[in-house]
Amino acid sequence: MANVILSKKFSELTTEELYQIIDLRLRVFVEEQKILYADTDFKDQKCLHYYIKKDGKIVSYMRLLPAGLKYKEIAFGRVATDERYRNLGLASEIIKKAMQDFKGEPFRISAQAYLKKYYEKLGFKTVSDIYLEEEVEHIEMLALNR
């Protein structure tokens, strides 16, 4: 059975969905990866939120930043999947769906450096040297998305 990928504006998210999104992001980035950062950066209100639910719970997620919010191109970030649902391709499905929704628009991301090959498989090319963001090595990557 195919996964249903939902996308909503911030104002369309239910309180429960928002709580689940914040919880998932905190579990992945703060608890697992030990990244200490302010998750509430006030960009969520301007983003589209893509996610997959299983048994009523959000298990994979990413936010799409409109062109001009972070880069001149569309961007995405906060890509997170519950550890029990990893290696099933859920995050890749979400990314592909977003890129399909905005076909013809380039995407620029700030990717954790260890995920370089993962994003290359999705059509991204490295366009920067390694830099630190929240004390984690990152690289800028670009996909023309034609």
Q: What is the pLDDT of residues 95-129, one digit of tens each?
A: 999 999 999 999 999 999 999 999 999 999 999 99
Under 8 Å between Cβ of 68 and 43:
no
Residue 88 lies in a domain: yes
H or E element that contains 93: helix 90-101
Instruction: Say whether 28 sits in a helix, a strand or coil.
Output: helix
Which residues form the domain of 89?
A: 5-103
pLDDT over 80 at 76, yes or no = yes
Under 8 Å between Cβ of 25 and 80:
yes
Residue 109 lies in a domain: no
Residue 80 lies in a domain: yes
Residue 124 lies in a domain: no
Please tell me the predicted confidence (pLDDT) of residue 143. Answer: 98
pLDDT bucket at 30, cuts 50 / 70 / 90: confident
Residue 44 lies in a domain: yes
Q: Name the residue among 87, 27, 20 with its Cα closest to residue 58.
A: 20
Residue 72 lies in a domain: yes
Residue 131 lies in a domain: no
Residue 134 lies in a domain: no
The pTM (predicted TM-score) of the whole model is 0.94
pLDDT over 70 at 90, yes or no = yes
As for how many domains the chain has, the answer is 1
- What lies within 8 Å, CB to CB, of 83 at 6+ separation is 27, 28, 32
* CATH code: domain of residue 70: 3.40.630.30
